[in-house]
DNA sequence: TTGAAAGCGCTAACAA
DNA sequence: TTGTTAGCGCTTTCAA
């Protein structure tokens, strides 16, 4: 496989820069003819330093190409102006939109964001949490991959954190959620109102709150419409492959569904593939509503009805909460719930 | 806007953990009844330590919930087992696939990956490069956002780095590319062979190598087919909005194109939207080939013909090169070029 | 095999 | 306003 792709491989000569000693405060101090303390003060914009001296120091730093040593600074300061964002799937547009929200807010106040992809795996999440602790980041924003998340260690060390998208069981932390149970209920009610008879649901793993809530909302709607709950629910990983299998399985049932509620856009890809393979026409043979308004949702055939979540806002709100908590660890934790919006397109319109 | 979405906001009580002193090597040493040197050796798996002692140390560390202080360690070691990956767009599946490739390889050998989104902005890229230098990461993998990238400072400090997707002008570094000029030529030739008469091209900004190369390949094909180059080329940011405008502009031309080569999948979203708005039927009125096999490419109407790039492989190869360079800075730089594959679907089939 | 001690580069308390 | 100096927590000589 790999070799097939490689069509060209060339090597050149190397221009190593050997013995490139990295300049330190001392070097800058020597060049500017001041003490290291003054360099530190000048470079950190402290007001108690003579403007002329400050300028000389900055000049010297520039000349030398000085870049502060982060580990040394963080060691001394006992904190880094960095927040870690641990998301459960980099390939899900919902989470990348959250990342943008976090970044924009954090950058405004001089914080950097490092993005970690836990890939829906509690092990990887745990590993990144350890790294975040070890690197002594100022705070962590995360979408917990499962009910067994080990964020408790953040709390016990006093590291600030905020949960997004999914709450932390038994954890009394700041959290930013979406009322997806209500949204799922509305979406399902919409399908029923369109005249679909056997509405199914493909959702995420048990114990993942969004998956459970979307299923609960789906059941709420069925109950309200006095439908008996059919055996048309499938749970799987939040991935395309799992949803693909789930869809094939549902289609093979004797009483297969004539409509589906799908719990996220990554799953929707798998479902649409399955329908295509089976020659089932989406929107005609099977009505569809999926969570998340992916960039491509309106472009598929037929355009997908979606539950749009305010992903960017989630990230922005979470970042603001985190910064507030970093500034004041004693403030009471808040729970913010944002609303979602059902966008009706052709995939759920009865023909 | 924001307020509209907020439907619930509650506050609870806070359980702050005050004065939670973080355990250090000294604490572990005291508890295990050994010196800090032995703790360090034991925890780092050095062979020169008595197994019994080592066990006692590990036990003590566990009891205390000890986590090494990263900044202190990195300060002492003068290097962190971290690589920075700076990509030009987190919302582009091509780059997130690269990220997975990098992560998988890096994790195998105990390196962590931090992801930075330069958002196609040289300023942000520059900022992240500074952070990478300051944090003294072991190496950097980046897709340069433009020709004015400032990676030179990495070289001058001896920090290892690898360029992916786009080369660094005048830079003699490891680089992993795709032969997209050839791929663009094949894709364009395919459109011509299908009988399209006025093939246009929407590509990225001048100076971004992939954008230039894809345009060059497009022109290669036109020349080979003895077509005079029509005024059907548009350049814009690598974003949906830019491509949307470009497509509308092209459609408004007196001699508007009957086929388009689109330089990436993010742009394809904008183009498809534009076509939809103008009531132009993709694949019927206008033939389409786009770069990158996004997850949704086969699901739109009609399924998109694409130039599939080996994104995951690019990341994996780049990570291996970076690790090799970290281990040996004197090895000659290599240029690896991978091939792309044209996948023909309905959007480029002449009816 | 273990311990004592130095020092990585920076910032902040204290002195001048 | 500036300089001197201690020390953040770790690893790593060097000695025992």
A338: nearest CA partner in chain B: B6
Q: What is the pLDDT of residues A274-303, one digit of tens each?
A: 999 999 998 889 999 999 999 999 999 889
List CB contacts (< 8 A) between A294 and chain B: 296
- Would you say residue B96 has pLDDT above 90? yes
Distance in Å from C12's C1' to B73's CA comes to 22
Q: Are A87 and A121 in contact (CB under 8 A)?
A: no
Three-state SS for B62-126 is HHHCCCCCHHHHHHHHCCEEEEEEEECCCCCHHHHHHHHHHHHHHHHCCCEEEEEECCCCHHHHH
B156: nearest CA partner in chain A: A17
For residues B66-74, average pLDDT: 96
- Would you say residue B187 has pLDDT above 50? yes
Handedness of CA B193, B194, B200, B206 (dihedral sign): negative
- Taking the C1' atom of every nucleotide in all shown strands and the CA of B73, the nearest one is D10
DSSP B148-167: T--THHHHHHT-EEEEESSP
Which of A 330-349 have CB under 7 A of nucleic chain C?
A: none
Q: What pTM does this model have?
A: 0.93
Tell me the C-alpha distance between A340 and A307, whole Å.
6
**How close does chain B come to A100, measured CA to CA in Å?**
9
- Scan residues 232-261 of A and list those with Cβ closer than 8 Å to B: 240
Mean pLDDT of chain B: 92
Q: What is the pLDDT of residues A236-246, one digit of tens each?
A: 999 999 999 99
Q: Which nucleotides of D are covered by protein (CB under 7 A)?
A: 1-5, 7-13
Q: Does the beta-carbon distance from B157 to A334 stay under 8 Å? A: no
Q: Which of A86-100, A143-157, B115-129, B200-214 has the lowest mean pLDDT?
A: A143-157
Tell me the C-alpha distance between A171 and A285, whole Å.
44
Tell me the C-alpha distance between A303 and A282, whole Å.
9
CB A81 under 7 Å to nucleic chain C: no
Burial class of residue B148 (count of CB atoms within 10 Å of its CB; 0-12, 13-18, 19+) = exposed
List CB contacts (< 8 A) between B333 and chain A: 11-14
Q: What is the pLDDT of residues A218-258, one digit of tens each?
A: 999 999 999 886 789 999 999 999 999 999 999 999 999 99
**How close does chain B come to A194, measured CA to CA in Å?**
24
**How close does chain B come to A51, measured CA to CA in Å?**
25
What does the buried/exposed string (b/e) look like for B262-280 if buried means 16 or more CB atoms within 10 Å of the residue's CB? Answer: bbbbbbbbbbbbbbeeeee
Q: Does the beta-carbon distance from A300 to B301 stay under 8 Å? A: yes
Q: What is the pLDDT of residues B248-280, one digit of tens each?
A: 999 999 999 999 999 999 999 999 999 999 999
What pLDDT sits at residue B15? 47
For residues A301-317, average pLDDT: 96
Q: How many CB pairs under 8 A join A and B?
A: 241
**How close does chain A come to B222, measured CA to CA in Å?**
24
pLDDT band at B172 (very low <50, low <70, confident <90, very high): confident
User: Which among A314, A297, A319 has a CA at the least distance from the CA of A306?
Assistant: A297
Q: Which of A14, A135, A334 sits opposite B332 (nearest CB)?
A: A14
Task: Output the six-digit token pair for A167.
Answer: 């709450």
Q: Which of A16-30, A47-61, B146-160, B224-238 has the lowest mean pLDDT?
A: A16-30
**How close does chain A come to B156, measured CA to CA in Å?**
7
Quick check: B334 contacting A, CB < 8 Å? Answer: yes
Tell me the C-alpha distance between B6 and B10, whole Å.
11
Quick check: B276 contacting A, CB < 8 Å? Answer: yes
A311: nearest CA partner in chain B: B5
Distance in Å from D12's C1' to B23's CA comes to 21
**Which residue gives the smallest C-alpha to C1' distance to C7?**
B76
Three-state SS for B225-246 is CCCCCCCCEEECCCCHHHHHHH
Q: Does the beta-carbon distance from B172 to A14 stay under 8 Å? A: yes
Q: What is the pLDDT of residues A135-167, one digit of tens each?
A: 999 999 999 988 877 888 898 888 999 999 999
CB A50 under 7 Å to nucleic chain C: no
Q: Look at B216 and A152; give whichever has higher pLDDT.
A: B216
Distance in Å from D4's C1' to A49's CA comes to 17
Distance in Å from C5's C1' to A35's CA comes to 27
B103: nearest CA partner in chain A: A117
In a mutational test of the B interface, the residue from A2, A19, A27, A70 whose CB has the highest number of chain B CBs within 10 Å is: A70
**Element housing A61 (H / E):** helix A51-64
pLDDT over 90, % of chain A: 83
Task: Output the six-digit token pair for B57.
Answer: 């140390």
Q: Does the beta-carbon distance from A313 to B2 stay under 8 Å? A: yes
**Which residue gives the smallest C-alpha to C1' distance to D9?**
B72
Quick check: B21 contacting A, CB < 8 Å? Answer: no
What pLDDT sits at residue B240? 97
Burial class of residue A135 (count of CB atoms within 10 Å of its CB; 0-12, 13-18, 19+) = buried
Distance in Å from C11's C1' to B318's CA comes to 38
Distance in Å from C13's C1' to B25's CA comes to 25
Distance in Å from C9's C1' to A101's CA comes to 34
């Amino acid at each position: 496989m790999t070799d097939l792709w490689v069509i060209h491989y060339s090597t050149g000569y190397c221009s190593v820069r050997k013995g490139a000693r990295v300049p330190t405060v001392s070097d800058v101090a020597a060049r500017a003819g001041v003490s290291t303390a003054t360099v530190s003060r000048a470079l950190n914009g402290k007001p108690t330093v003579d403007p002329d001296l400050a300028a000389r120091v900055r000049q010297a730093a520039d000349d030398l190409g000085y870049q502060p040593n982060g580990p040394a600074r963080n060691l001394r300061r006992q904190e880094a102006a960095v927040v870690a964002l641990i998301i459960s799937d980099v390939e899900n547009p919902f989470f990348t939109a959250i990342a943008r929200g976090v970044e924009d807010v954090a950058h405004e106040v001089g914080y950097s964001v490092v993005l970690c992809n836990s890939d829906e795996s509690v092990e990887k999440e745990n590993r990144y949490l350890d790294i975040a602790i070890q690197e002594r980041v100022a705070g962590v924003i995360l979408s917990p991959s499962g009910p067994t998340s080990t964020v408790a260690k953040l709390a016990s060390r006093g590291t600030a954190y905020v949960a997004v998208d999914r709450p932390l069981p038994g954890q009394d932390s700041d959290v930013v959620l979406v009322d997806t149970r209500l949204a799922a209920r509305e979406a399902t009610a919409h399908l029923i109102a369109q005249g679909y008879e056997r509405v199914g649901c493909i959702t995420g793993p048990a114990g993942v709150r969004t998956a459970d809530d979307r299923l609960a909302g789906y059941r709420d709607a069925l109950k309200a419409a006095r439908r008996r709950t059919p055996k048309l629910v499938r749970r799987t990983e939040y991935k395309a492959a799992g949803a693909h299998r789930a869809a094939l399985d549902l289609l093979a049932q004797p009483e297969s569904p004539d409509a589906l509620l799908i719990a996220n856009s990554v799953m929707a890809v798998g479902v649409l593939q399955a329908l295509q393979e089976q020659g089932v026409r989406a929107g005609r043979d099977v009505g569809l509503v999926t969570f998340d308004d992916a960039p491509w949702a309106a472009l598929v055939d037929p355009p997908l009805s979606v539950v749009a979540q305010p992903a960017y806002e989630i990230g922005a709100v979470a970042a603001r909460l985190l910064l507030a908590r970093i500034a004041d660890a004693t403030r009471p934790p808040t729970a913010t719930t944002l609303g979602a919006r059902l966008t009706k397109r052709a995939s759920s319109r009865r023909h």
